Chains A and B, each alone.
Chain A
Amino acid sequence: MSYVVKVQTSASRMAAIGTAILIPVAFILPLFASRSLLQDLFFIFTMLTLAQWWNLLAGYGGLVSVGQQAFVGMGAYAMFGTVILLGWDPVPSILAGGIVALLLALPTAFFAFRLQGAYFAIGTWVIAEITRLTVAQWKQLGGGTGTSLPRSATRDIMFVDGIKALFDTKTSVARDILAYWLALILVILTIAAIYWLLRTRRGLALAAVRDNLQAARSVGVDPDKIKWLTFLAAAFGTGLTGALIYMQKARISPDAAFSVVDWTAYVIFIVVIGGIGTIEGPILGVIVFLLLQSLLASYGTWYLISLGLIGIIVMLFAPRGLWGLLSDRTGIELFPVQRRLVMNKKLSKEK
């Protein structure tokens, strides 16, 4: 009997076409868009990148970390360190941020992987706190109060002169455009990398380990290898994002860069309301998050309380998030990973 294995759906083909149109539009957007729109989009892209990595960890890998702020903070501080202490340009320093976050992930995983379930989550948070306290001792980078990128470094960031000439604009606007482009590249590469990973056999292994550890071992999957791979990849991506966020902010402090609320709680909120375990979920989630923020942010504490309540309501009534509701109703999947086996009876008769 003949067969074909299909992954694409008609919706995903449409989505691919849509993406192919959207990406060039997103790249030329600074030509038309206002500065505040670019800043909003920068926020969306960076939060979405963080959310995609956390979703890979928790939604696919079953690794519920609440210590991802360690990698945001470490990436950001490593970026400041290479700029201030080594005199690097901020753009290549972002890469250094990713690499240092990856290095921090090695001991973190070594300790945290010894812990199960809730203890794993607590363990990651403790390690993030230890990292924050340690970085706060780093006097050359301002200790507990933090520091700013030196004017000499921010004045002539790579590409900014070119952008200034191209758009005929001020340095501060050119820097926002650069940050926007970098965030756009980062989110595209992140989604592409994660989607690619899920489509390879490692994606199957990840799902198998998540669904049943014992059985995964018994069919030849090495759960440790797949967990390490996921955790390190997520740390690298999270570190890059942290470095980029703080290149744009140009000012850093340990409390802000290692904030569990900003870099983990919000990110979890985005993934949970959007739909955990899907690539589409965080995309929807970050849009909802931005809307809520612009509606409610002026209410201070009430804003946080309502975020919490909305999160709980979604978890109770739509455990697969808003995207789960939508795709259950419509059957639409934009980033399908399921391998569907289509048996072709006619062909086999002809044979």
Chain B
Amino acid sequence: MSILSISKLCKSFGFLKVADEISFDVPAGQALGIIGPNGAGKSTLFNLITGNISSDGGQIFFQNEDITQVSPMKRTLSGIGRSFQIPQPFDKLTVFENLLVAGTFGRNLDEAKTTDNCVEILQETGLAKHVNLPAGQLSLLERKRLELARALATNPELLLLDEIAGGLTQGECDSLVATIKSIHEKGVTIIWIEHVLHALTSVVEHLLVLDFGRVIAIGDPGEIMKSKEVREIYLGIEV
């Protein structure tokens, strides 16, 4: 059964088509990777799925319900969690409070009832040292971790991750991959946009290639990386 089903989704910014009849399904429990050159429309696709921007046409089904017109807030409550490519922390709130907002509103729980879960996530994502620091004072890498942590605090069934592995050292990258794997093992469906291919392919079972707002290929990562078209698109990106 698919948890997310996208059908002929369209979006243009002026004359620029960033989503051109995108259709694909994500089975529940899958980890799907999305790759594609800069400006292909990957982040826009996430914004459409979460409702942060509205689509021009097409439909989005989440757990068999049409959510195309549903507000971002309700999508979060129904189980879609996301990270932003450019981190969007609540600057003046502490790291812990950033998670607390997500935990209380994203799950509709009392603060006390969600604190356990927040503390667990802070440790899992390596933010435990900074719990009481205002999020505005974090380094870029820590902000990216906070994006992941805050998304997790909403207890998502579908987790959307947008380029969270860029700029990490090998060790940091390995521990991030381990974290995402363990989230995935708990049964969370994951869609992960990532340029760091070795990290991505060590987690995902399925790969989708996007270019000019179109799905170029979707399927087994190994086979897709062998395809000539994909390699051409990726020539500029993979060193």
> Which residues of B sit under 8 angstroms from A340, Cβ to Cβ?
94, 96, 132
> Which residues of B sit under 8 angstroms from A341, Cβ to Cβ?
94, 96, 115, 119, 122, 131-132
A205 at the interface (CB under 8 A from B): yes
> Which residues of B sit under 8 angstroms from A207, Cβ to Cβ?
90, 92-93, 97, 101
Residue of A nearest to B84 (CB): A215
A1 touches B123 (CB 8 A): yes
A196 at the interface (CB under 8 A from B): no
B50 touches A204 (CB 8 A): no
Least CB distance from A113 to B in Å reads 16
Residue of B nearest to A225 (CB): B73
> Which residues of B sit under 8 angstroms from A312, Cβ to Cβ?
none
A215 touches B88 (CB 8 A): yes
A339 touches B94 (CB 8 A): yes
B77 touches A220 (CB 8 A): yes
B154 at the interface (CB under 8 A from A): yes
> Which residues of A sit under 8 angstroms from B153, Cβ to Cβ?
219
| Total A-B Cβ pairs within 8 A | 106
Least CB distance from A144 to B in Å reads 45
A218 at the interface (CB under 8 A from B): yes
A212 in complex: contacting residue of B76, B91, B112, CB < 8 Å: B91
- Interchain CA distance A208-B90 in the complex, whole Å: 6
A201 touches B105 (CB 8 A): yes
Residue of A nearest to B110 (CB): A201
Interface size class of B (residues with CB under 8 A): 35 or more
- Interchain CA distance A343-B119 in the complex, whole Å: 9
Main secondary structure of the interface of B (DSSP, over half): helix
> Which residues of B sit under 8 angstroms from A217, Cβ to Cβ?
51-52, 71-73, 76
Least CB distance from A56 to B in Å reads 16
B119 in complex: contacting residue of A1, A201, A211, A216, CB < 8 Å: A1
Binary A-proximity of B70-108 (CB < 8 A = 1, otherwise 0): 011100110000101000111111101100111011111
Chain B positions 116-175 with a Cβ under 8 Å from a chain A Cβ: 119, 122-123, 128, 131-132, 150, 153-154
B56 at the interface (CB under 8 A from A): no
> Which residues of A sit under 8 angstroms from B111, Cβ to Cβ?
5, 201, 204, 339
> Which residues of B sit under 8 angstroms from A299, Cβ to Cβ?
none
- Interchain CA distance A341-B114 in the complex, whole Å: 13
A212 touches B88 (CB 8 A): yes
Least CB distance from B105 to A in Å reads 4
Least CB distance from B153 to A in Å reads 8
A205 touches B101 (CB 8 A): yes
Least CB distance from B133 to A in Å reads 11
A222 at the interface (CB under 8 A from B): yes
B88 touches A204 (CB 8 A): no
B105 touches A219 (CB 8 A): yes
B93 touches A211 (CB 8 A): yes
A218 in complex: contacting residue of B82, B93, B108, B122, CB < 8 Å: B82
Binary B-proximity of A214-234 (CB < 8 A = 1, otherwise 0): 111111111000000000000
Residue of B nearest to A223 (CB): B73
A3 at the interface (CB under 8 A from B): yes
* CB-CB under 8 A for A218 and B72, given A201-B111, A341-B96: yes
> Which residues of B sit under 8 angstroms from A214, Cβ to Cβ?
52, 84, 88
> Which residues of B sit under 8 angstroms from A201, Cβ to Cβ?
101, 104-105, 110-111
Residue of A nearest to B87 (CB): A215
Instruction: Please report B residues at the A interface, Cβ cutoff 8 Å.
Output: 50-52, 71-73, 76-77, 82, 84, 88-94, 96-97, 100-102, 104-108, 110-112, 115, 119, 122-123, 128, 131-132, 150, 153-154
Beyond A204-B101, A214-B52, A218-B84, 14 additional pairs, beta carbon < 8 A: A3-B115, A204-B97, A207-B93, A210-B92, A211-B89, A211-B90, A212-B91, A216-B101, A217-B52, A218-B82, A220-B105, A222-B71, A338-B132, A341-B96
What are 19 pairs between A and B in contact, CB < 8 Å? A208-B90, A208-B93, A212-B91, A214-B52, A214-B84, A214-B88, A215-B89, A219-B105, A220-B73, A220-B108, A220-B154, A221-B101, A222-B73, A338-B132, A339-B96, A339-B100, A340-B94, A341-B132, A343-B131
